[in-house]
Amino acid sequence: MLKITDTALTQIKKSISEETKGMSLRIAAKQADDGSIQYGMGYDDNKAEDDVVVELEGLEVLIAPSSRDLLIGATIDYVSLEDEEMHFIFINPNDPNHKAPQDN
């Protein structure tokens, strides 16, 4: 289903605070009118009965049924983009703007 790189998982675990300790990470996706996919990520302590639950090295990830199909095969990574600032990115073959990484 959804993959999270080791770099992203490490950063997510570092971001856990006293307020979010024990909460699950919720990942959301929705398709915009132009077909692109918009993403959201945050901590949540309200697990719904129909949520998809993914366990990743002690981290519980929740995905609502409305986001499930959009996230199949997606990868979350944490990378340096502009001015060496680090950002979470979604690499998703379901996104019409997706371009596969090129081998150098």
Tell me, what CATH number does 39's domain have? 2.60.300.12
Whether 104 is in a domain gets the answer no
Q: Where are the alpha helices (DSSP H) in 1-104?
A: 6-14, 65-71
Show the domain range for 79.
3-91
Contact 24, 95 (CB under 8 A): no
What's the pTM? 0.84
Identify whether 100 is part of a domain: no
**Residue 24: predicted pLDDT:** 94
Per-residue pLDDT of the chain (104 residues; tens, 9 = 90+): 789 999 999 999 999 888 888 899 999 999 999 888 999 999 999 999 999 999 988 889 999 999 999 999 999 999 988 778 899 999 998 887 777 666 54
| 101 domain-assigned | no
**Exposed (0-12), middle (13-18) or buried (19+): which is 18, by Cβ within 10 Å?**
exposed
Domain count, the chain: 1
